[in-house]
Amino acid sequence: MTEACYLGVDIGGTKVSFRLVRGADGEVLWSSFARWPEVPSDVGDDLAVLRTRVRDLREATRVWPAGVGVAVAATVDAAGRVVSWPNRGTWRGLDLLGELRSLFPGSEVAWADDGALATVAEAAAAEVPNLVYAGVGTGIGGGVVVGGRLLSAMSGGACELGHVVVNHDGPPCTCGRRGCVQAEASGPATLRRASAECRQTVAFDRLRVGYRDREPWAAAAIEHSCAALAAALAGVGELVAPAVHVVGGGFAAGIPGYVAEVGRHLAALSRPGHPAAPVVPARFGGESSLRGAVLAAMGALSGPDVPRRPDQRARER
Ligand SMILES: [Zn+2]
């Protein structure tokens, strides 16, 4: 009998990524990504990108997924409608679940917050019961696992790590408040600061090279972001005392030295007798949400427990 296939889809702020796997062991059959149009005039433009890639999948693989798991950066209500997404405002009001069902007829469709799914994937890989995950990309997402269970995400509201306030007088956040860690340390916020320090528009690659070469403007911009993220992790760490902080997301994973910098700032915030937990890079780099989406596609996320990896389950058989 042919083993079932499962598709993970990560709908992010700048691009959509896909990973199609076969069977419980997750043999990868196809992976792809597509960037959204830079200036969306209509959500239909983005949906056309999505449809084209799904057609590519069908033509390239000749298989159809039994389950589809979708990681979404947008805030989506329980009925599957997009409530808000400041990074792609045209999606507001979209019947996301309806669109996904029409894109994947006959497939089981599950969706969840991208930070929550990334946390689940990283926790399954890390094999520790208590963990905080932060993903730095277009925004900042994340989640908390305590006693092997993801806090609050699967039952509705996600852990909104990006909106932890680290500077009450800081820059405005897309949520309307000031000083959220996302406003201080997201990819776009860091590039804005780098551009101001450098006195010219700085794109990601320029920042990465500048930081590698220890150019002062690049070091200042990255250090500010890492210090802000460390402050958020220190605050969350006081509440849940994780064994480890995991930092990933496309922006952080793309800058060598970023995670170690967060670790240095977090260590400096330790209290006497309460050393901060180590900060480690995400096992899946900028792909943690996509890996979590695959787990959702496999139906592994029916409750708050972090699923065990297929190879762990195989060992236990
Ligand atoms: Zn905010």
pLDDT in tens, 246-263: 999 999 999 999 999 999
pLDDT tops 90 at residue 23:
no
Name the band, by pLDDT with cuts 50, 70 and 90, for residue 1.
Answer: low
- For 102-217, strand residue ranges (E) read 108-113, 131-136, 140-146, 149-150
Measured in Å, residue 184 CA sits from the centre of ligand 1 at 10
Measured in Å, residue 140 CA sits from the centre of ligand 1 at 10
Measured in Å, residue 13 CA sits from the centre of ligand 1 at 16
Measured in Å, residue 221 CA sits from the centre of ligand 1 at 20
CATH superfamily membership of 5-113+287-304? ATPase, nucleotide binding domain (3.30.420.40)
Pairing of strands 108-113, 82-84: unpaired
Measured in Å, residue 185 CA sits from the centre of ligand 1 at 11
Measured in Å, residue 183 CA sits from the centre of ligand 1 at 7
Provide the whole-model pTM.
0.89
Measured in Å, residue 300 CA sits from the centre of ligand 1 at 31
Strand, helix or coil for residue 290: helix
Measured in Å, residue 55 CA sits from the centre of ligand 1 at 36
Fold match flag (5-113+287-304 vs 117-285): yes
pLDDT tops 70 at residue 305:
no
Of 58, 94, 59, nearest to 74 by C-alpha is 94
Measured in Å, residue 176 CA sits from the centre of ligand 1 at 6
Measured in Å, residue 162 CA sits from the centre of ligand 1 at 7
pLDDT at 154: 47
Measured in Å, residue 177 CA sits from the centre of ligand 1 at 5
What does the domain layout of the chain look like in residue ranges? Answer: 5-113+287-304, 117-285
Taking the C-alpha atoms of residue 50 and residue 35, their distance in angstroms, rounded to an integer, is 10
Sign of CA dihedral 172, 175, 177, 180: negative
pLDDT tops 90 at residue 235:
yes
Measured in Å, residue 196 CA sits from the centre of ligand 1 at 22
Mean pLDDT, to the nearest integer, of 86-92? 88
Domain 117-285 class in CATH:
alpha beta
